[in-house]
Amino acid sequence: MKLNQLSVFLENKPGALSTPCRLLADAGISIQTFALADTQQFGILRLVVHEWQKAKELLEKNGYVVKLTEVVAIEVPDVPGGLAALLEIVERARVNVEYVYAFTAKQEGKGLMLFRFNNPDAAIRALQADKVNIVGTVELFQRLGN
Amino acid sequence: MSKHNPPGPFHPASAMDFLPPGQLREVQFTRLKGMVQRAYDRVALFRQRMGERNLTPADLKSLDDLVKLPFTVKMDLRDAYPFGLFASPLQEIVRFHASSGTTGKPIVVAYTQEDVDDWARAMVRSFAACGVHSGDIIQNAYGYGLFTGGLGAHYGAEALGASVIPISGGNTDRQIMVLKDFGVTVICCTPSYFLHLIERAGELGVNLKELPLRAGVFGAEPWTESMRQRIQAESGIRAYDIYGLSEIVGPGVAMECQHQSGPHIFEDMFYPEIIDPQTGQVLPDGAEGELVLTTLCKRAMPMIRYRTRDITSLAADRCACGRSLRRICRISRRSDDMLIIRGVNLYPSQIEAALLRVEGTLPHYQIIVDRQKGLDTLEVQVEVTPEVFSDTVGAMEQLQAKLSHSIESITGLHADVRLVMPRTLQRSEGKAKRVHDRRQM
């Protein structure tokens, strides 16, 4: 149920973001979605790619520090209160959301978001109990046409 | 209005500055014998070191025999941490100070009441040498605390009969307010801090040249003649160089007279030698080498031939002031890797110890020292490793804060910690160049 996400340490300076993107591009690796957390000094690039092992190896070989992190892809109804209701489920399970970002693709009135929880397993249990659709790796990449 | 009056009244404590050379040598030898005897009797390290050379205090037949005695180095103070080199029982110790060691632990120095009085006397002679006198209002902006600068200058200024403002370091706007409102005539601080103060005063619209301030007693870090010229031109005061180090006593080991021809060493209290730092051989006056000092009066913590690591030379020609004391020339560099940042001694190995303490594995790091608006800045760049990399910004910022805190607790200095990509820090021949000092003195 959990997805593998790559987190990459970047310095906050011109070119810091384009270089790893170019590396992946030249290896034919497509970025499904990404988010950038930034501070004045450094940034953390979070990536979801299909061939994550290959991408990780490639980035590491080029001097990047890469960490594998588990995230959860969740369908969120694209209606007012859709996100709020979902977050309330997680909140009741006393799970903390560390960060969240989205896929651009929308399907059948539902958006797809990626959540990083402090306790992903507890979050998944709570969400499934509430009949929330969690999208696993295989389904995700099928949907994204890979 | 000329603020530069003729020399202040002659202070009786300065009489020792003018001792004829023959008499000075007699005083030195008498004191040396007493000090070495005391060190030999009471400090295991000195007894052992002399024993290794089959020496006893009785082998000191003249001042020239001093060269037979072994050197003392900073490592000895570190190994003796905290009290191992004391020659007085703790009941007789009235004061401790501490200075940077080369690792996580500082080095500790101690004083008996007589030591504190002697130190104040050396500071009185220092102030008097550059024309500071009773009635002066002295703003003491050296840091108070374990650092010897603050209390050393304070006790000396009080003993001189001056009015002391113990403002300590930092808070520049308040420094300028007090300087102006109290009619301060003399300021004590590091020369780089005074440059910063000049700059800030300009921003605040305070013209230092219109204030009664006429002299600065500047030390605790090396500076240059061009820095002096700049300070004097921009502030209208006379800038004097004071030299000292905690291991010997603190400030007041040597001080410039009004002729500004290099600090005169108070040789009746601190005996100077210049050695070749490689061979240890004593060099003649005028030759450049490492300054070695022997305390002639210290009771709680005598030092025999302490290697200061400061590279300089001794000037023996007669100064126009008439003092018989030799002068040290500008410290050109150090024979070790110690840096002085905002008056605080820093060894790169301390940064290493601080980083190690946080994560247990030593990352690659680089120290960048710069000077902005007259103030030293310290940046420590640390390469991020897979072991310390975390996926959240909060955790990474926490890591930065932990590293910064660890550095500050070991060195007493605030450092900006900057996390950088792995393998981006410069390595030369496999060995990293750790320190980049970009300051223009």
Average pLDDT for B288-315: 97
- Given this chain, do its domains B12-336 and B341-437 carry the same CATH topology? no
3-state secondary structure of B361: coil
Out of A47, A69, A91, a domain closes at A69
Say which CATH superfamily domain B341-437 falls into. ANL, C-terminal domain (3.30.300.30)
What domain range is A75 assigned to?
A: 71-143
Tell whether A85 and A136 lie within a shared domain: yes
Out of A21, A51, A69, a domain closes at A69
Write down the pTM of the prediction. Answer: 0.79
So what's the architecture of B12-336 in CATH?
3-Layer(aba) Sandwich (3.40)
Q: Is A67–B386 a contact, with Cβ atoms under 8 angstroms apart?
A: yes
Cis-peptide into B82, omega within 30 deg: yes
Q: What is the ipTM of this complex?
A: 0.82
Question: What is the number of helices (H) and of strands (E) in chain A?
Answer: 5, 7
Q: pLDDT tens digit string along A61-92?
A: 999 999 999 999 999 988 999 999 999 999 99
Tell whether A61 and A120 lie within a shared domain: no
Q: pLDDT tens digit string along B254-296?
A: 999 999 999 999 999 999 999 999 999 999 999 999 999 999 9
Tell whether A123 and A78 lie within a shared domain: yes
CA quadruple A100, A104, A105, A107: dihedral positive or negative? positive
- Does residue B172 carry a pLDDT above 90? yes
Average pLDDT for B53-65: 96
Q: Measured between CB atoms, does A39 come within 8 Å of chain B?
A: yes
State which residue of chain B sits closest to A70, comparing Cα positions. B391
Cα dist from B284 to A4, A105, B68, B313, B316, whole Å: 72, 83, 16, 9, 10
Q: Phi/psi class of residue B211: alpha, beta or left (left: φ > 0; alpha: ψ in -120 to 50)?
A: beta
Chain A residues with CB-CB distance to B385 below 8 A: 65
What is the spatial distance between Cα B328 and Cα B316, in angstroms, rounded to a whole number? Answer: 9
- Whose tokens are 């120290």? That residue is B367
Tell whether A57 and A80 lie within a shared domain: no
Break chain B into its structural domains and give their ranges.
12-336, 341-437
Q: Note the pLDDT of residue B22.
A: 94
CATH number of the domain to which A44 belongs: 3.30.2130.10
Q: pLDDT tens digit string along A8-49?
A: 999 988 889 999 999 999 999 999 899 999 888 899 999 999
CATH number of the domain to which A75 belongs: 3.30.70.260
Tell whether A62 and A117 lie within a shared domain: no
Tell whether A81 and A64 lie within a shared domain: no
Q: pLDDT tens digit string along B3-46?
A: 655 566 789 999 999 999 999 999 999 999 999 999 999 999 99
Contact B425, B366 (CB under 8 A): yes
Q: Note the pLDDT of residue B362.
A: 65
3-state secondary structure of A101: strand
* Token code pair at residue A87: 């977050």
Query: What DSSP line would sit under B164-209, residue for residue?
Result: EE---S--HHHHHHHHHHTT--EEEE-HHHHHHHHHHHHHTT--GG
Distance from CA of A109 to the nearest CA of B (A): 31
Find the CB nearest A39 among B391, B397, B424: B397
Tell whether A132 and A85 lie within a shared domain: yes
* Token code pair at residue B270: 């601190």
Average pLDDT for B48-67: 96
Percent of chain B with pLDDT over 90: 76
Average pLDDT, chain B: 92
In 3D space, the residue among B230, B235, B196, B195 whose CA is nearest the CA of residue B215 turns out to be: B235
Chain A residues with CB-CB distance to B381 below 8 A: none
- Name the band, by pLDDT with cuts 50, 70 and 90, for residue B1: very low
Contacts of B308 (CB under 8 A, 6+ apart): B245, B247, B248, B290, B291, B292, B293
Chain A residues with CB-CB distance to B424 below 8 A: 11, 63
Q: Note the pLDDT of residue B6.
A: 56
What is the spatial distance between Cα B329 and Cα B198, in angstroms, rounded to a whole number? Answer: 26
Q: Is B421–A9 a contact, with Cβ atoms under 8 angstroms apart?
A: yes
What is the spatial distance between Cα B397 and Cα B411, in angstroms, rounded to a whole number? Answer: 21
Window 76-115 of A, Cβ < 8 Å to B: 98-99
Out of A69, A103, A128, a domain closes at A69
Tell whether A65 and A75 lie within a shared domain: no
- Whose tokens are 């999208």? That residue is A135
CA quadruple B110, B79, B353, B430: dihedral positive or negative? positive
Q: Is A9–B389 a contact, with Cβ atoms under 8 angstroms apart?
A: yes
- Better pLDDT: B57 or B421: B57
Find the CB nearest B393 among A11, A39, A64: A39
Tell whether A92 and A34 lie within a shared domain: no
Q: Measured at the alpha carbon of residue B370, what is the angle toward residues B369 and B373, in degrees to the nearest 5?
A: 145
Number of domains, chain A: 2
Q: Is A65–B391 a contact, with Cβ atoms under 8 angstroms apart?
A: no
Chain A residues with CB-CB distance to B401 below 8 A: none
In 3D space, the residue among B72, B46, B18, B33 whose CA is nearest the CA of residue B273 turns out to be: B72
What is the spatial distance between Cα B288 and Cα A12, in angstroms, rounded to a whole number? Answer: 46
What is the spatial distance between Cα B86 and Cα B83, in angstroms, rounded to a whole number? Answer: 6
Percent of chain B with pLDDT over 70: 96
Mutate to test the interface with B, among A12, A13, A42 (most CBs of B within 10 A): A42
Tell whether A83 and A134 lie within a shared domain: yes
Q: Is B393–A37 a contact, with Cβ atoms under 8 angstroms apart?
A: yes
Tell whether A22 and A55 lie within a shared domain: yes
